[in-house]
Every structure is written in structure tokens, then in C-alpha cells.
Amino acid sequence: MSKLLYEKRDRIAYVTLNRPEAKNAIDPELHDLLWRTWEDFRDDDAVDVAILTGAGDAFCAGADLKTFIPPLIQDATPRWVRDNVRTGLGGLTRGLHRIHKPVIGAVNGWALAGGLETALACDIRIASERAMFGSFEARRGYHHGDGGIVRLVNTCGSGVALEMLLTAEAIDAQRALQCNLVSRVVAHDSLIEEAERTAHQILRNSQIAVRSAKETILDVIGRPLDDQLRIEALNAYACADTEETMSLLQRFYDKSDAGRAGTHATSL
């Protein structure tokens, strides 16, 4: 069976890491499979949202310590280091991180090391009550290199990043929620259902607006306020498709749109 399961149903791409016997650690083969899968998701107009999860009791234990890491430590050349800057781990962490379609991380268990980096690379993270998050690299003699430090600081702040990286101790799902590392924590058996509900909430919206909003958020991170405001204004006032927006506005005028100021439930 493939080390990566990839299905498409009702505009949702389901991406499942499938090495449960290795806690879904990413070996070179799985790295390549992930890269090709994210390229396909990016290019396929039939899907608009992805849900990423892991098979078994782990989300992802990071780069495989037997097959992925040793060659990098022993054989990496300066040229390889430069080339690797373009690719990251599994593509989503770096290299294919600019995909404008939303990716939901359904964190079902351990998200460790590169698995934490992969979770952080998702746009929305929903955690099972069994999920655990950790940066154990300092125990092995190195630290995050595929976005873990950058995204932890951007998402949770330097204090949380320093604690997790310097102590190399894990945090549970509730602490992750307190740290803003995840959006919410749900019962383990409801995790995929909750991820699908979130996907359908995204899918009911204008995908032009959704993708422009994601692009804008990525563009403004770390910039000075004036640059942030300029980018937001440029993207916002240039993103609308005239026909789509006027059609959606007409529904508002006709009072036929769902979810008007909270007076009507919005169907999924």
C-alpha cells in the first residue's frame, strides 16, 4: 500500500500520511509523494480545500531518523543546502507553501519535529484531544530547519517557541489551544467530521475571495504597517470577479442569501 493516501471527494482533497508503523515519519519516498500530491492539489480545479491527517495513532513524527536525517548530516554539501532551501520537508513547509487553496490539518496524534512543522504549514489546525506537539530536535543535535521556528514565532510568539525548542518537551492539545497553535480541540472520533465541516464552511464562500485572503495574509506577515495596509488594499480591491460579486450582492438585496447578520442558518 502507498505511503500516502490521496482521495478527492466533493471539492475536498484528502491527504493521509500512511506509515503508521513508523508514526508516519517522512522518508525520502514519502517526501517525494507529498511534493507531487501538493502540486496536483494546487493544479486541479476540481478541488478547493485539502484535509491533511495521519493514519494510525500519529499525525507525523517528522523526518525519518533512519533514512532521511543521516545522509543530510553526513553527506550534505553546500550545494545541497542551497538546493534544499527551495524544497523543505514534504513541499508544504517550504517550496509549495504559497498554494493559495486552504489546507486544514486534522492533527490526530503526535505532531513531532518535522511533523510539527508540517502541521504549522497548514492554514487551519484542528486537534484531536489525543494530539501531542513537540520539538525534540535539540535532543538529536540540531533544530527546526523547515519552518518550525518561523511559524511557531509567527503563530504562538517567541516565548512559546523558546520553551518548546529549548526544553524539547511536548505539549498536549489543551496547551496547544492556549498557545494558539490550534484553532480548537475536539473528541478524537469527531476529528475528520469537524475538519470536513470546516472545509464545507470554506467551500460555501467565493473561492476567489478565499484564495486572495490567504495570499494577503501570507504577504503581510512580518512587514511594516504601511506595507501591510497597502498590500491588503491592493489585493482586496482587485480580487473580485465582477459577475460573481454582483450576483452575490443581488442575493443580499433580494434577502435570499443565507446567514444574513446571523438571522438565518447558513447551509453547508
Amino acid letter for position 100: H
Q: Among this protein's residues, is 25 annotated catalytic? A: no
Query: Residue 196 catalytic?
Result: no
Long-range contacts of 174-177, Cβ-Cβ distance < 8 Å, separation of 24 or more: 176/127, 176/131, 176/133, 177/127
Known catalytic membership, residue 145 = no
Beta bridge partners of 186: 128
Q: Is 117 a catalytic residue?
A: yes
d(CA 171, CA 173): 7
Q: Which amino acid is at 76?
A: A
Catalytic entry in 95, 114, 147, 148: 114
Pairwise CA distance, residues 84 & 71, whole Å: 13
Query: Pick the catalytic residue: 13, 25, 58, 63?
Result: 63
Given the residues 117, 145, 161, 199, select the one marked as catalytic: 117
CA dihedral 93, 99, 102, 105 (to 10 degrees): -20
For strand 184-186 and strand 124-128, is the pairing parallel, antiparallel, or unpaired? parallel
Q: Which residues are catalytic?
A: 63, 114, 117, 137
